[in-house]
Structure 1
Amino acid sequence: MNRPAWLANPWKPNPWFESVAVARERARKRLPAPVFGALVAGSERGQSLAGNQDAFRLIEFAPHVAGHQADRSMATRFLGQDISLPVIISPTGVQAVHPDGEVAVARAAASRGTIMGLSNFASKPVEEVAAANDRTFFQMYWTGDRDVMIQRMQRAHDAGAKALIATLDWSFSMGRDWGSPEIPEKVDLRTMIRMAPKVITKPGWLYEFGRSGKIPDLTAPNLAKPGEAKGPTFFGAYYEWMTTPPPSWNDVAWMRDTWAQISGKPFMIKGVCRIDDAKQAVDIGADAISVSNHGGNNLDGTPAPIRCLGPIADAVGHQLEIALDGGITRGSDVVKALALGARTVMIGRAYLWGLAANGEAGVGNVLDILRSGIDSALLGLGLKSIDQLTPDTVEIPDGFHRRLGVPV
Structure 2
Amino acid sequence: MSQWFETVAEAHRRARKRLPKSVYKALVAGSERGTTLQDNIAAFGEIGFAPHIANLPAERDQRTEVMGQEVASPVLISPTGVQAVHPEGEVAVARAAAEAGVAMGLSSFASRSIEDVVEVNEQTFFQLYWVGDRERVLARAERAKKAGAKGLILTLDWCFAHGRDWGSPPIPEKMDLRTKLGFAPQGLLRPRWLYGFLRHGLPDLTTPNMVPPGEQPPTFFGAYGEWMFTPPPTWEDLAWLRERWDGPMAIKGITRPDDARRAVEVGADAISVSNHGGNNLDSTPAAIRLLPAIAEAVGDDVEILLDGGVRRGSDVVKALALGAKAVLIGRAYLWGLAAEGQAGVRNVLDILHSGIDSGLLALGRSSVHDLRPEDVIVPEGFTRAAG
| TM-score bin (small chain) | over 0.9
Which runs of 5 or more residues in structure 2 are unaligned?
none
Task: Tell me which of 20, 40, 43 is aligned to 1:55.
Answer: 43
Residue 258 in 1 paired to residue 234 in 2? no
Residue 108 in 1 paired to residue 96 in 2? yes
Residue 224 in 1 paired to residue 206 in 2? no
User: Matched residue of 1:383: which SS?
Assistant: coil
Aligned match of 1:333 = 315
Is the contact between residue 22 and residue 169 of structure 2 (CA under 8 Å) also seen in structure 1? Answer: yes
Letter in 1 for 2:338: A
> What is the CA-CA distance between 1:34 and the residue it aligns to?
0.0
Hey, what's the Cα distance between the residues in 2 that align with 1:119 and 1:304?
23
Deviates further, 331-340 or 202-211 = 202-211
> What is the CA-CA distance between 1:234 and the residue it aligns to?
1.2
Hey, what's the Cα distance between the residues in 1 that align with 2:342 and 2:161?
30
Hey, what's the Cα distance between the residues in 2 that align with 1:329 and 1:226?
36
**Cα distance 1:386–1:225, how it changes in 2: closer, same or farther (>3 A)?**
closer
Aligned match of 1:236 = 222
Task: Tell me which of 146, 159, 170 is aligned to 1:171.
Answer: 159
Aligned match of 1:154 = 142
Hey, what's the Cα distance between the residues in 1 that align with 2:3 and 2:136?
42
Task: Tell me which of 332, 338, 341 is aligned to 1:359.
Answer: 341
Task: Tell me which of 308, 311, 319 is aligned to 2:301.
Answer: 319
Aligned match of 2:7 = 19
Deviates further, 376-385 or 357-366 = 376-385
Q: After the TM superposition, which segments of 4 or more aligned residues of structure 1 sit over 6 Å from their partners?
A: none
Aligned match of 2:115 = 127
Hey, what's the Cα distance between the residues in 1 that align with 2:256 and 2:39?
17
Aligned match of 1:8 = none
> What is the CA-CA distance between 1:211 and the residue it aligns to?
2.4
Aligned match of 1:9 = none
Task: Tell me which of 125, 138, 142 is aligned to 2:130.
Answer: 142
Q: How does 1:224-303 map to 2 (within 5 A)?
A: 224-225=211-212, 227-228=214-215, 230-259=216-245, 264-303=246-285
Q: How does 1:86-97 map to 2 (within 5 A)?
A: 86-97=74-85
Task: Tell me which of 375, 381, 386 is aligned to 1:393.
Answer: 375
CA offsets 1:308-330 (integer angstroms, 9 cap, x no match): 10110111010010000000000
TM (norm. structure 1) is 0.93
**Cα distance 1:186–1:88, how it changes in 2: closer, same or farther (>3 A)?**
same
Hey, what's the Cα distance between the residues in 1 that align with 2:228 and 2:117?
27
Hey, what's the Cα distance between the residues in 1 that align with 2:92 and 2:243?
32
RMSD after superposition: 1.0
User: Matched residue of 2:193: which SS?
Assistant: helix
> What is the CA-CA distance between 1:227 and the residue it aligns to?
4.1
CA offsets 1:340-391 (integer angstroms, 9 cap, x no match): 0000000000000000001110000000000000011111112211111011
Is the contact between residue 81 and residue 135 of structure 1 (CA under 8 Å) also seen in structure 2? Answer: yes
Letter in 2 for 1:243: F
Q: How does 1:173-192 map to 2 (within 5 A)?
A: 173-192=161-180
Hey, what's the Cα distance between the residues in 1 that align with 2:207 and 2:230?
17
Hey, what's the Cα distance between the residues in 2 that align with 1:211 and 1:188?
18
> What is the CA-CA distance between 1:174 and the residue it aligns to?
1.9
Residue 65 in 1 paired to residue 47 in 2? no
TM (norm. structure 2) is 0.98
Hey, what's the Cα distance between the residues in 2 that align with 1:328 and 1:304?
11
Letter in 1 for 2:229: T
Is the contact between residue 96 and residue 217 of structure 1 (CA under 8 Å) also seen in structure 2? Answer: no
CA offsets 1:140-181 (integer angstroms, 9 cap, x no match): 011111221121111100000000110011112122010001
Letter in 1 for 2:12: R
User: Matched residue of 1:373: which SS?
Assistant: helix
Aligned match of 1:404 = 386
> What is the CA-CA distance between 1:15 and the residue it aligns to?
2.1
Which runs of 5 or more residues in structure 1 are unaligned?
5-13
Letter in 2 for 1:270: K
Is the contact between residue 160 and residue 228 of structure 2 (CA under 8 Å) also seen in structure 1? Answer: no
Aligned residues: 387
Task: Tell me which of 168, 185, 198 is aligned to 1:210.
Answer: 198
Hey, what's the Cα distance between the residues in 2 that align with 1:195 and 1:227?
29
CA offsets 1:222-264 (integer angstroms, 9 cap, x no match): 0124641x311111011111111111111111122121xxxx2
Letter in 1 for 2:59: D
